[in-house]
Amino acid sequence: MSDLVLVQRRDDVAEVVLNRPDKRNAFNWSMMQALDAAITQAGNMSGVRAVILRGEGRGFSAGIDVMAFDEIVDAFGADWRRNMFPVTAAFQNIVTKFERCPHPVICLMHTYALGLALELALACDFRIVSEGTIIGLPETRLGIVPDVGGTTRLTRLVGPGRAKEFIITGKNIPLDAAERWGLVNYIVPKGGLMDKANELVAEIRLAAPLAVTYAKHVINGVSEVERGLQMEAWAQAQLMGSEDFEQGAQSMITKQTPQWKGK
Protein backbone atom coordinates (compact mmCIF):
# COMPACT_ATOMS: atom_id res chain seq x y z
CA MET A 1 0.00 0.00 0.00
CA SER A 2 1.16 3.55 -0.73
CA ASP A 3 2.62 5.52 2.17
CA LEU A 4 0.50 8.52 1.11
CA VAL A 5 -2.29 7.10 3.28
CA LEU A 6 -1.52 4.80 6.20
CA VAL A 7 -3.70 2.24 7.95
CA GLN A 8 -2.89 1.53 11.58
CA ARG A 9 -4.76 -0.72 14.00
CA ARG A 10 -4.85 -0.48 17.77
CA ASP A 11 -7.12 -2.99 19.46
CA ASP A 12 -10.60 -2.51 17.96
CA VAL A 13 -9.88 0.84 16.26
CA ALA A 14 -8.51 1.31 12.74
CA GLU A 15 -6.82 4.60 11.91
CA VAL A 16 -6.66 5.96 8.36
CA VAL A 17 -3.94 8.61 8.23
CA LEU A 18 -3.43 11.18 5.46
CA ASN A 19 0.34 11.20 5.12
CA ARG A 20 1.45 13.89 2.68
CA PRO A 21 2.35 16.58 5.22
CA ASP A 22 4.92 18.29 2.99
CA LYS A 23 2.02 19.14 0.62
CA ARG A 24 -0.42 19.99 3.45
CA ASN A 25 -2.04 16.58 2.81
CA ALA A 26 -3.45 17.95 -0.46
CA PHE A 27 -4.97 15.23 -2.63
CA ASN A 28 -3.50 14.18 -5.95
CA TRP A 29 -4.82 11.15 -7.84
CA SER A 30 -2.22 8.82 -6.32
CA MET A 31 -3.32 9.86 -2.85
CA MET A 32 -6.98 9.31 -3.76
CA GLN A 33 -6.15 5.79 -4.91
CA ALA A 34 -4.30 5.19 -1.65
CA LEU A 35 -7.31 6.53 0.26
CA ASP A 36 -9.52 4.08 -1.62
CA ALA A 37 -7.31 1.15 -0.65
CA ALA A 38 -7.09 2.34 2.96
CA ILE A 39 -10.81 2.66 3.64
CA THR A 40 -11.44 -0.65 1.89
CA GLN A 41 -8.87 -2.33 4.14
CA ALA A 42 -10.24 -0.69 7.29
CA GLY A 43 -13.82 -1.54 6.37
CA ASN A 44 -12.93 -5.20 5.89
CA MET A 45 -11.20 -5.56 9.27
CA SER A 46 -13.08 -7.89 11.59
CA GLY A 47 -13.54 -6.90 15.20
CA VAL A 48 -13.15 -3.19 14.49
CA ARG A 49 -15.66 -0.94 16.28
CA ALA A 50 -14.64 2.40 14.73
CA VAL A 51 -12.41 3.98 12.10
CA ILE A 52 -10.58 7.22 12.89
CA LEU A 53 -9.59 9.43 9.95
CA ARG A 54 -6.90 12.01 10.64
CA GLY A 55 -4.16 13.99 8.93
CA GLU A 56 -0.44 13.84 9.69
CA GLY A 57 1.43 17.11 10.14
CA ARG A 58 0.23 20.61 10.84
CA GLY A 59 -3.22 20.33 9.25
CA PHE A 60 -5.90 17.81 8.27
CA SER A 61 -5.86 18.62 4.54
CA ALA A 62 -5.86 21.64 2.25
CA GLY A 63 -8.08 19.84 -0.29
CA ILE A 64 -7.28 19.13 -3.93
CA ASP A 65 -3.72 19.62 -5.14
CA VAL A 66 -4.23 22.01 -8.08
CA MET A 67 -0.58 21.54 -9.05
CA ALA A 68 -1.09 17.82 -9.70
CA PHE A 69 -3.52 17.81 -12.63
CA ASP A 70 -0.90 15.98 -14.74
CA GLU A 71 -1.79 12.81 -12.84
CA ILE A 72 -5.42 13.20 -13.88
CA VAL A 73 -4.30 13.46 -17.51
CA ASP A 74 -2.37 10.21 -17.10
CA ALA A 75 -5.36 8.47 -15.50
CA PHE A 76 -8.26 9.84 -17.54
CA GLY A 77 -6.75 11.24 -20.74
CA ALA A 78 -5.75 14.66 -22.04
CA ASP A 79 -9.38 15.65 -22.70
CA TRP A 80 -10.51 14.92 -19.14
CA ARG A 81 -11.96 18.38 -18.55
CA ARG A 82 -14.39 17.91 -21.44
CA ASN A 83 -15.32 14.45 -20.25
CA MET A 84 -15.73 15.10 -16.54
CA PHE A 85 -18.30 12.47 -15.59
CA PRO A 86 -15.87 9.54 -15.16
CA VAL A 87 -13.40 11.79 -13.32
CA THR A 88 -16.00 13.11 -10.90
CA ALA A 89 -17.52 9.65 -10.43
CA ALA A 90 -14.11 8.19 -9.55
CA PHE A 91 -13.53 10.81 -6.83
CA GLN A 92 -17.11 10.50 -5.56
CA ASN A 93 -16.94 6.71 -5.34
CA ILE A 94 -13.83 6.84 -3.17
CA VAL A 95 -15.25 9.41 -0.75
CA THR A 96 -18.61 7.62 -0.59
CA LYS A 97 -16.83 4.50 0.68
CA PHE A 98 -16.36 6.33 4.00
CA GLU A 99 -20.12 6.82 4.23
CA ARG A 100 -20.75 3.17 3.37
CA CYS A 101 -18.05 1.74 5.61
CA PRO A 102 -19.74 -0.76 7.97
CA HIS A 103 -17.88 0.74 10.93
CA PRO A 104 -18.56 4.26 12.28
CA VAL A 105 -15.98 6.70 10.90
CA ILE A 106 -14.74 9.55 13.11
CA CYS A 107 -12.97 12.40 11.32
CA LEU A 108 -10.47 14.51 13.29
CA MET A 109 -9.79 17.93 11.77
CA HIS A 110 -7.09 20.38 12.81
CA THR A 111 -5.78 23.70 11.42
CA TYR A 112 -7.53 23.46 8.03
CA ALA A 113 -10.03 21.27 6.18
CA LEU A 114 -10.90 22.90 2.88
CA GLY A 115 -12.66 21.85 -0.31
CA LEU A 116 -12.20 18.15 -0.98
CA ALA A 117 -10.94 17.69 2.59
CA LEU A 118 -14.21 18.96 4.04
CA GLU A 119 -16.15 16.90 1.50
CA LEU A 120 -14.33 13.83 2.80
CA ALA A 121 -15.15 14.81 6.38
CA LEU A 122 -18.82 15.22 5.46
CA ALA A 123 -18.90 11.58 4.33
CA CYS A 124 -17.82 10.48 7.81
CA ASP A 125 -20.23 9.77 10.65
CA PHE A 126 -18.70 12.07 13.28
CA ARG A 127 -16.56 15.19 12.95
CA ILE A 128 -14.36 16.44 15.77
CA VAL A 129 -12.45 19.66 15.19
CA SER A 130 -9.81 21.49 17.18
CA GLU A 131 -10.21 25.15 18.08
CA GLY A 132 -9.13 27.60 15.40
CA THR A 133 -9.50 25.18 12.49
CA ILE A 134 -10.49 26.73 9.15
CA ILE A 135 -13.21 24.80 7.32
CA GLY A 136 -14.99 25.67 4.10
CA LEU A 137 -15.89 24.84 0.51
CA PRO A 138 -14.16 27.56 -1.56
CA GLU A 139 -14.75 25.93 -4.97
CA THR A 140 -16.93 28.72 -6.42
CA ARG A 141 -13.96 31.06 -5.98
CA LEU A 142 -12.15 28.78 -8.44
CA GLY A 143 -15.04 28.82 -10.91
CA ILE A 144 -16.34 25.34 -10.05
CA VAL A 145 -18.64 23.69 -7.48
CA PRO A 146 -18.08 21.15 -4.69
CA ASP A 147 -18.64 17.95 -6.68
CA VAL A 148 -17.39 15.15 -4.41
CA GLY A 149 -20.46 15.17 -2.19
CA GLY A 150 -19.91 18.54 -0.54
CA THR A 151 -22.94 20.23 -2.06
CA THR A 152 -25.24 17.30 -1.32
CA ARG A 153 -24.01 16.39 2.14
CA LEU A 154 -23.64 19.93 3.46
CA THR A 155 -27.21 20.67 2.37
CA ARG A 156 -28.44 17.51 4.06
CA LEU A 157 -26.67 18.43 7.31
CA VAL A 158 -27.39 22.15 7.64
CA GLY A 159 -30.30 22.79 5.26
CA PRO A 160 -30.42 24.52 1.87
CA GLY A 161 -30.45 28.09 3.19
CA ARG A 162 -27.23 27.77 5.15
CA ALA A 163 -25.61 25.58 2.50
CA LYS A 164 -26.29 28.19 -0.17
CA GLU A 165 -24.64 30.93 1.89
CA PHE A 166 -21.35 29.08 2.23
CA ILE A 167 -21.25 27.23 -1.09
CA ILE A 168 -22.27 30.20 -3.25
CA THR A 169 -19.91 32.64 -1.53
CA GLY A 170 -17.11 30.13 -0.91
CA LYS A 171 -16.43 31.73 2.48
CA ASN A 172 -15.22 29.80 5.51
CA ILE A 173 -17.75 28.31 7.93
CA PRO A 174 -17.47 29.59 11.53
CA LEU A 175 -16.81 26.72 13.92
CA ASP A 176 -19.33 27.81 16.54
CA ALA A 177 -22.06 27.90 13.89
CA ALA A 178 -20.91 24.55 12.47
CA GLU A 179 -21.31 22.98 15.90
CA ARG A 180 -24.78 24.50 16.43
CA TRP A 181 -25.94 23.21 13.04
CA GLY A 182 -24.61 19.67 13.55
CA LEU A 183 -21.93 19.99 10.89
CA VAL A 184 -19.36 19.48 13.65
CA ASN A 185 -20.07 17.20 16.60
CA TYR A 186 -17.43 18.54 18.98
CA ILE A 187 -14.96 21.43 19.16
CA VAL A 188 -12.01 20.58 21.40
CA PRO A 189 -8.86 22.37 22.56
CA LYS A 190 -5.78 21.99 20.39
CA GLY A 191 -4.16 18.66 21.11
CA GLY A 192 -7.40 17.15 22.38
CA LEU A 193 -8.69 15.45 19.23
CA MET A 194 -7.64 11.90 19.99
CA ASP A 195 -8.80 12.04 23.59
CA LYS A 196 -12.28 13.04 22.44
CA ALA A 197 -12.26 10.40 19.72
CA ASN A 198 -11.37 7.74 22.29
CA GLU A 199 -14.27 8.89 24.49
CA LEU A 200 -16.62 8.53 21.53
CA VAL A 201 -15.27 5.08 20.67
CA ALA A 202 -15.88 4.00 24.27
CA GLU A 203 -19.53 5.01 23.88
CA ILE A 204 -19.80 3.18 20.54
CA ARG A 205 -18.51 -0.01 22.21
CA LEU A 206 -21.60 -0.03 24.43
CA ALA A 207 -23.82 -0.62 21.37
CA ALA A 208 -24.18 -3.90 19.47
CA PRO A 209 -21.87 -3.94 16.40
CA LEU A 210 -24.47 -5.24 13.93
CA ALA A 211 -27.07 -2.77 15.17
CA VAL A 212 -24.57 0.07 14.69
CA THR A 213 -23.92 -0.99 11.09
CA TYR A 214 -27.61 -1.16 10.22
CA ALA A 215 -28.42 2.09 12.02
CA LYS A 216 -25.72 3.88 10.02
CA HIS A 217 -27.04 2.45 6.75
CA VAL A 218 -30.63 3.50 7.44
CA ILE A 219 -29.70 7.02 8.58
CA ASN A 220 -27.55 7.69 5.53
CA GLY A 221 -30.44 7.08 3.15
CA VAL A 222 -28.38 6.01 0.14
CA SER A 223 -30.73 7.01 -2.70
CA GLU A 224 -30.93 10.70 -1.72
CA VAL A 225 -27.15 11.08 -1.73
CA GLU A 226 -26.73 9.25 -5.03
CA ARG A 227 -29.13 11.62 -6.78
CA GLY A 228 -27.26 14.61 -5.38
CA LEU A 229 -23.92 13.21 -6.52
CA GLN A 230 -25.26 12.84 -10.06
CA MET A 231 -26.35 16.48 -10.06
CA GLU A 232 -22.94 17.59 -8.76
CA ALA A 233 -21.23 15.66 -11.56
CA TRP A 234 -23.49 17.28 -14.16
CA ALA A 235 -22.78 20.80 -12.86
CA GLN A 236 -19.04 20.23 -12.73
CA ALA A 237 -19.05 18.90 -16.30
CA GLN A 238 -20.50 22.25 -17.42
CA LEU A 239 -17.93 24.28 -15.49
CA MET A 240 -14.61 22.56 -16.03
CA GLY A 241 -14.36 23.73 -19.64
CA SER A 242 -15.28 27.32 -18.82
CA GLU A 243 -13.07 30.39 -19.05
CA ASP A 244 -13.97 31.16 -15.44
CA PHE A 245 -12.37 27.91 -14.30
CA GLU A 246 -9.20 28.88 -16.18
CA GLN A 247 -9.24 32.16 -14.27
CA GLY A 248 -9.87 30.45 -10.95
CA ALA A 249 -7.15 27.86 -11.41
CA GLN A 250 -4.62 30.52 -12.40
CA SER A 251 -5.57 32.64 -9.39
CA MET A 252 -4.64 29.75 -7.08
CA ILE A 253 -1.18 29.65 -8.64
CA THR A 254 -0.51 33.37 -9.07
CA LYS A 255 -2.37 34.50 -5.89
CA GLN A 256 -4.05 37.24 -7.97
CA THR A 257 -7.75 38.11 -7.96
CA PRO A 258 -9.54 36.26 -10.79
CA GLN A 259 -11.28 38.33 -13.46
CA TRP A 260 -14.57 36.48 -13.94
CA LYS A 261 -16.12 36.47 -17.41
CA GLY A 262 -19.29 34.50 -16.79
CA LYS A 263 -18.51 32.04 -19.57
**255: Cβ contacts below 8 Å, ≥ 6 apart:** none
Q: In this structure, is residue 223 part of a structural domain?
A: no
Within the chain, which residues score under 70 in pLDDT? Answer: 1, 222-223
Per-residue pLDDT at 230? 80
Q: Characterise 262 by phi-psi region: left (phi > 0), alpha (psi -120 to 50), beta (else).
A: left
Q: What percent of the chain has pLDDT over 90?
A: 71
Q: In this structure, is residue 255 part of a structural domain?
A: no
**Catalytic residue among 15, 99, 119, 232, which?**
119
Q: In this structure, is residue 254 part of a structural domain?
A: no
Per-residue pLDDT at 229? 79
SS3 assignment for the chain? CCCCEEEEEECCEEEEEECCHHHCCCECHHHHHHHHHHHHHHHCCCCCCEEEEEECCCCCECCECHHHHHHHHHHHCCCHHHCHHHHHHHHHHHHHHHHHCCCCEEEEECCEEECHHHHHHHCCCEEEEECCCEEECCHHHHCCCCCCCHHHHHHHHHCHHHHHHHHHHCCECCHHHHHHHCCCCEEECCCCHHHHHHHHHHHHCCCCHHHHHHHHHHHHCHHHHHHHHHHHHHHHHHHCCCHHHHHHHHHHHHCCCCCCCCC
Average pLDDT of the residues of the chain: 92
Q: In this structure, is residue 247 part of a structural domain?
A: no
Q: In this structure, is residue 234 part of a structural domain?
A: no
243 is catalytic: no
Structurally, the chain folds into a number of domains equal to: 1
Determine the Cα–Cα distance for residues 151 and 156; give it in Å rounded to an integer.
Answer: 9
139 is catalytic: yes
Per-residue pLDDT at 50? 98
Alpha-carbon dihedral angle through residues 62, 68, 74, 80, given to the nearest 10 degrees = 70
Q: In this structure, is residue 26 part of a structural domain?
A: yes
Q: In this structure, is residue 235 part of a structural domain?
A: no
Question: pLDDT digit string (tens) for 71-96?
Answer: 887 888 877 777 788 889 999 999 99
The domain in which residue 156 lies consists of 5-190
What CATH number is attached to the domain comprising 23? 3.90.226.10
Q: In this structure, is residue 238 part of a structural domain?
A: no
Per-residue pLDDT at 234? 78
**Catalytic residue among 15, 56, 99, 139, which?**
139
Q: Are 91 and 72 in contact (CB under 8 A)?
A: no
